[in-house]
Amino acid sequence: MVFTGSAEWHTPASEMAVTQFEIVAERLNLDRNVRARLARPDRALVISVPTRLDDGSVHVFTGYRVQHNDVLGPFKGGIRYHPDVDLGEVCALAMWTTWKCSLVGLPFGGAKGGIACDPTRLSRKELQGMTRRYTAEIRNFIGPELDVPAPDMGTNEQVMVWVMDTYSQHKGHAVPGVVTGKPVEMGGTVGRREATGRGVVHLIRETAKHLNLDLSRSTAAVQGFGNVGSVTAAELASLGVKIIAVSDRTGGFYDEKGLPIDRLLRHLADHPDLAGCRFGEPISNAELLELKCDVLVPAALGMQITAENAARLKCRILAEGANGPTSLEADEILGQKGVFVLPDILANAGGVTVSYFEWVQDLQNFFWSEEQVKQQLQQMLTRAFREVLDLSQREKVDMRSAALMIGIDRVGRAMLRRGLYP
Ligand code: NAD
């Protein structure tokens, strides 16, 4: 393993990301020096984030910002607030973001950040204090030309505005281009909030065409009902797909006749999660994954589909809204079962693609229409899908390997062109 001498990076997520990389690097016959460099991040920050809680005490949270590689452009990547955030997970997510941006053809490198915390247990004041202190601690390492954060699990438009405002206060003027995923009135772009879910669904449509599957007669199950999961479910439902199950961190529901997605969304408008909803039968997150359906969308945590449950999956298409939901062993089992996998770095790339549009608009102070955003998004994702599918057929490899091959190859070639400084 390449992460020698860096035991703190050794977690299941980082092991998985590095092993995936090593397998593809071998297949691509990637330059030995480039390979050694890409197996680890450019920079990894571990930050203490002292935050005053509402009871007057101060709690020191641990935060991270990992910048994997910026050979293609400024670093880009989400900020995650979740109790399980650790250095290894953030390293893995940063590496996957490098491949994702490269695969879609965005002029960005990969980064990721996060704080180990449970945002659902923090008041608005505590969340704001923690976010502002975290931003102040990383302010010298982010910026529109340096590293541009975005929302991820547990963060949202409001958190992005606090990041932007804190950074701008330190600079002395407004710098909207320092983060993406902002509200439209604060320099955000129309269509960013929906972008990841819309992208997932656009790629499911492309896959359905390829497999001759009539989506209006098909069924889907969605794990995670936050930004990505809820938009994916709503967009699929609008295409006539029957959503037979959804879940979030509080559990889920199953109804073979289809769940009323609009009513679930209305519930979420004034509740933090699905708890308190009563539709169909209760179902656990683990049970949801094993339901018979045409499309399964994991849109929550990583490592959900493993050697333990992969053989019991009964879907035709696995569309990875979440990052890293499938282990390496599970991948092999799914391949043998003939499940068509839309791998995370392709399936959820709609988010970073529209983040790119937002960054471009902020730099130019010129804003696009929703139609332009939708059209450009579809164009870029369709091209990436075609490239991945063509390569997977030509090289007789699965879709994940093909996506990684394209992403890693571009970064590797760029590194060789730029050379080693000094
Ligand atoms: P979110 O915070 O909006 O929603 C997360 C959802 O997951 C919530 O419904 C939450 O209840 C649920 N969840 C949390 N813990 C769970 C558990 N143990 N079991 C089941 N469900 C659980 O987050 P999001 O932005 O929708 O991100 C979801 C996934 O999509 C993450 O893996 C993230 O990295 C990935 N992703 C997000 C974006 C984006 O633009 N937001 C882009 C690309 C990938």
Query: Ligand 1 pocket, 119 CB below 6 A?
Result: no
Q: What mean pLDDT comes out for the span 94-103? A: 98
Q: Which two tokens stand for residue 43?
A: 């920079």
**Nearest CA-CA partner of 117 in 150, 147, 91, 155:** 155
**Which atom of ligand 1 is closest in space to residue 192's alpha carbon?**
40
Query: Ligand 1 pocket, 351 CB below 6 A?
Result: yes
Q: Cβ(240)–Cβ(216) under 8 Å?
A: yes
Cα(197) to centroid of ligand 1, in Å? 11
Which residue from 227, 261, 323, 346 has its CB within 8 A of the most atoms of ligand 1, so it is best to mutate?
227
Nearest CA to ligand 1 atom 17: 249
Say what the pTM is: 0.97
Query: Ligand 1 pocket, 151 CB below 6 A?
Result: yes
**Judging by beta carbons within 10 Å of its beta carbon (0-12, 13-18, 19+), is residue 196 exposed, middle or buried?**
buried
Which residue from 99, 120, 180, 228 has its CB within 8 A of the most atoms of ligand 1, so it is best to mutate?
228
Query: Ligand 1 pocket, 200 CB below 6 A?
Result: no
**Which atom of ligand 1 is closest in space to residue 300's alpha carbon?**
7
> 112 forms bridges with which residues in the sheet?
66
Q: What mean pLDDT comes out for the span 84-113? A: 98
Classify 195-347 by CATH class: alpha beta
**Nearest CA-CA partner of 246 in 279, 276, 218:** 279
At 342-385, the pLDDT tens digits run 999 999 999 999 999 999 999 999 999 999 999 999 999 999 99
List every span in the chain annotated with CATH 3.40.50.10860: 7-175
**Which atom of ligand 1 is closest in space to residue 323's alpha carbon?**
32
pLDDT at residue 9, rounded to an integer: 76
List every span in the chain annotated with CATH 3.40.50.720: 195-347
Query: Ligand 1 pocket, 153 CB below 6 A?
Result: yes
At 134-154, the pLDDT tens digits run 999 999 999 999 999 999 999
Query: Ligand 1 pocket, 96 CB below 6 A?
Result: no
pLDDT at residue 266, rounded to an integer: 95
Cα(75) to centroid of ligand 1, in Å? 22
Which residues are CB-contacts of 393 (< 8 A; sequence separation ≥ 6)?
none
Mark whether 112 is an active-site residue: yes
Q: What homologous superfamily does CATH list for 7-175? A: Leucine Dehydrogenase, chain A, domain 1 (3.40.50.10860)
At 280-308, the pLDDT tens digits run 999 999 999 999 999 999 999 999 999 99
Cα(26) to centroid of ligand 1, in Å? 32
Nearest CA to ligand 1 atom 36: 322
Q: What mean pLDDT comes out for the span 94-112? A: 98
Q: Per-residue confidence at 2, pLDDT binned at 50, 70, 90?
A: very low
Cα(393) to centroid of ligand 1, in Å? 31
Cα(287) to centroid of ligand 1, in Å? 18
Cα(349) to centroid of ligand 1, in Å? 14
Host H or E run for residue 253: strand 251-254
Q: Cβ(377)–Cβ(191) under 8 Å?
A: yes
At 231-275, the pLDDT tens digits run 999 999 999 999 999 999 999 999 999 999 999 999 999 999 999
**Which atom of ligand 1 is closest in space to residue 321's alpha carbon?**
30
Query: Ligand 1 pocket, 224 CB below 6 A?
Result: yes
At 371-381, the pLDDT tens digits run 999 999 999 99
Query: Ligand 1 pocket, 319 CB below 6 A?
Result: no
Cα(274) to centroid of ligand 1, in Å? 14
Query: Ligand 1 pocket, 154 CB below 6 A?
Result: yes
Whether the predicted pLDDT of 30 surpasses 90: yes
pLDDT at residue 1, rounded to an integer: 38
Question: What are the φ and ψ backbone dihedral angles of 297, each rounded to 5 degrees?
Answer: -120, 100
At 104-142, the pLDDT tens digits run 999 999 999 999 999 999 999 999 999 999 999 999 999
- Say which of 112, 182, 242, 374 is annotated catalytic: 112
Q: What value, to the nearest 5°, has the Cα angle with vertex 136 and ends 132 and 139?
A: 130
At 62-73, the pLDDT tens digits run 999 999 999 999
Q: What mean pLDDT comes out for the span 323-336? A: 97
Q: What value, to the nearest 5°, has the Cα angle with vertex 65 and ends 59 and 68?
A: 160
**Nearest CA-CA partner of 196 in 226, 218, 161:** 226
Query: Ligand 1 pocket, 81 CB below 6 A?
Result: no
Query: Ligand 1 pocket, 273 CB below 6 A?
Result: yes
Cα(156) to centroid of ligand 1, in Å? 11
